[in-house]
């Protein structure tokens, strides 16, 4: 009986996740609105990851990829990290190596934003390694560009002072943005000190 209730809950979570995946990625929905629904979105991801139903891990991956950039754009660091970590675990369960690489990259960018440079370097190198195996040249280039930002912010770098030492823990220090060009499966978050364009997500 308890298993039946659990399965029913996972089914509801799947329906909720499908709705939020569409909603969070819609261009008319502001990042702040998505961030306001963070608890419900993250709860749906958690339920899907714990489910044994086919396709639920894939649904969690899609939701994390839709909601994560919105959390980042809203500067909701905690929700962004949880979404990306849930997405990474879901990608592992689903056997989606390209998505694992994407989430490693996002964790690296998050660590860069919050000033954890060693963690940023490790996550970005993991992403580059996976993308090298997949022969994903565009993703590898994006990873190396992010690694260059880590090097620029490291102590002793001539560029370190340009970004400050707080690592972007306050609003406005460093804003995450969507990569330039048409969005696709390799699109990743990059960082700039000043400018934040509108978030984009494939329809």
pLDDT single digits (tens) 71-93: 999 999 999 999 999 999 999 99
In a domain, 163, yes or no: no
Domains in the chain, number: 1
Mean pLDDT value across residues 62-69: 97
In a domain, 203, yes or no: no
More confident residue, 75 or 194: 75
In a domain, 41, yes or no: yes
Element (H, E) at 99: helix 97-113
Task: For residue 79, give its domain range.
Answer: 2-156+173-192
In a domain, 137, yes or no: yes
CATH of the domain at 148: 1.25.40
More confident residue, 168 or 54: 54
**pTM across the whole model:** 0.73
């Amino acid at each position: 009986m308890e298993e039946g209730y659990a399965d029913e809950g996972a089914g509801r979570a799947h329906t909720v996740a499908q709705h939020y995946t569409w909603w969070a990625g819609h261009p008319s929905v502001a990042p702040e609105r998505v961030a306001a629904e963070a608890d419900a979105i993250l709860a749906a991801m958690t339920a899907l990851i714990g489910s044994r139903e086919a396709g639920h891990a894939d649904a969690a991956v899609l939701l994390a990829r839709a909601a994560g950039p919105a959390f980042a754009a809203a500067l909701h660091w905690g929700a962004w990290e949880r979404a990306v970590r849930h997405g990474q675990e879901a990608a592992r369960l689903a056997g989606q190596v390209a998505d694992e690489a994407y989430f490693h990259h996002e964790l690296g960018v998050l660590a860069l934003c919050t000033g954890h440079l060693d963690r940023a370097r490790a996550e970005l190198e993991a992403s580059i390694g996976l993308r090298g195996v997949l022969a994903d040249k565009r993703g590898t280039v994006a990873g190396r560009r992010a690694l260059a930002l880590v090097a620029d912010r490291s102590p002793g770098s001539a560029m370190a002072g340009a970004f400050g030492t707080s690592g972007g823990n306050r609003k406005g220090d460093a804003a995450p943005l969507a990569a330039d060009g048409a969005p696709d499966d390799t699109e990743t978050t990059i960082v700039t000190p000043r400018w934040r364009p509108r978030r984009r997500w494939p329809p």
